[in-house]
Amino acid sequence: MRLGIIGLPQSGKTSLFNALTGGEAPVAAGGYGQDTHVAVVKVPDARLDRLTEMFSPKKTTPAEVHYLDFPGAGFGSRDRSEVAWVGQLRTVDALVIVVRAFTDPSVPNDGPIDPVAALEKVQLDLVVADLAVVERKRTRLESDLKKTKTAERAPIEAEIALF
């Protein structure tokens, strides 16, 4: 399973990543790290251990969880270079949204700490990213429709109607 850890800058994403993986990924100064941290953790399973003891297979492969700690700089930005990594979110099986619910003088925040507002902001940014994908798809379909013979247009028109 691949889990993507996302959230606004300085929300604690990398701290959670380090806690889950036993890693020591550096926490970016200012909360605007540009690197996606990746770690693979083998899932302990007593049932698998017992089966291995019983059957002595040549190889035992435990389940793995792949954690991806995405940078927070893309959220809230409309700069294409900063949101380009959003496409990488589609490579994960689930998203873990981290919201800040702590105060710490060494981690400044603009305004009051509001976890609900932070969650809504991340969700809105994800919706906007999805909308951009839908708009590009619709544009491609409309372009294809112009090139298609009248008799063959029905499937493309049906797909456009979905949007």
Per-residue pLDDT, 129: 85
Query: What is the pLDDT of the chain when averaged over all its residues?
Result: 88
Check residue 48 and give its pLDDT. 98
pLDDT value of position 29: 63
Each domain of the chain, given as residue ranges in start order, spans 2-162
Least confident range from 13-22, 76-85, 103-112, 129-138: namely: 76-85
What is the pLDDT at residue 32?
Answer: 62
Q: How confident is the model at residue 78 (pLDDT cuts 50, 70, 90)?
A: low
Digit-coded pLDDT (tens) for 12-69: 999 999 999 999 998 876 556 678 899 999 999 999 999 999 999 999 999 999 999 9
Fold classification of 2-162 (topology level):
Rossmann fold (3.40.50)
13 vs 86: which has the higher pLDDT? 13
More confident residue, 29 or 121: 121
Provide the whole-model pTM: 0.81
pLDDT given for residue 76 in this prediction: 55
Q: Looking at the predicted structure, is the pLDDT value of residue 96 above 90?
A: yes
**Of the candidates 13, 16, 40, 42, the residue with the CA atom closest to the CA atom of residue 28:** 13
Nearest Cα to Cα of residue 39 among 14, 6, 67, 64: 67
